[in-house]
Amino acid sequence: MLSDDKAIVLFSGGQDSATCLAWALDRFAHVETLGFDYGQRHAIELTCRDTLRDTMVDQNPQWRDRLGMDHTLDLAVLGQISETALTREAAIEMTESGLPSTFVPGRNLLFLSFAATLAVRRNARHIVTGVCETDYSGYPDCRDDTIKALQVALNLGMETRFVLHTPLMWRDKAQTWQLAEEIGGADLVALINHESHSCYLGDRLHLHEWGYGCGTCPACELRAKGWASYVNA
């Protein structure tokens, strides 16, 4: 039987996954993190993860005993077979399919499948991901229906009883900032603001009131809009 006290958090180093990590640490006795290096243009996000993990437990010592191992999986093959603006030097734009060029087909399906495989080895029943269909770019693998269907498939295919948690599914970016504040106060908000990374172009040179980024890619625009709504609420 998988432990009901253990969780695996898909942790990219971005705003959403950092908020989900805090959410999980607030709920589960043991939490491990999982990141993926898939040849993304913004691979700098992976370098933010250690600072986020370390500072979260400094801010909340109760979490120190709950935060376990960090895992990073090499999924370079995904970048090799994907022709997208996140894995190639290509324009960020809408495509003829109606999906943005930043959509990496199968990405979240693969991430969650690997997370489930790891969860079996780590004896964790709960898997937490920051996917959302309220404020998102139209990615079909971020939808609630997709996640529910995948949970059924994983449990059938692995003879388990995983629970896939999506705490941000029905929250916009302003509400995601608000959730961080509710969990960890102003210190957690400031940490996620300064140390997480969302920019698709990997820009860590330009600091804005909402964090680092180019300021023009869709991820930056969404983050900036959410921050403005949050601070002006």
113 is in an annotated binding site: no
48 is in an annotated binding site: no
15 is in an annotated binding site: yes
17 is in an annotated binding site: yes
Helices 173-195, 15-25: axis angle to 10 degrees equals 100
3-class SS at 120?
helix
220 is in an annotated binding site: yes
Residues 6+ apart with CB under 8 A from 94: 100, 101
12 is in an annotated binding site: yes
How many whole angstroms separate alpha carbon 207 and alpha carbon 119?
36
11 is in an annotated binding site: yes
132 is in an annotated binding site: no
Strands (E), the chain: 3-10, 30-37, 67-74, 124-128, 163-165, 207-208, 211-212
217 is in an annotated binding site: yes
18 is in an annotated binding site: yes
Binding positions: 11-21, 199, 214, 217, 220
Binding positions for ATP: 11-21
Binding positions for Zn(2+): 199, 214, 217, 220
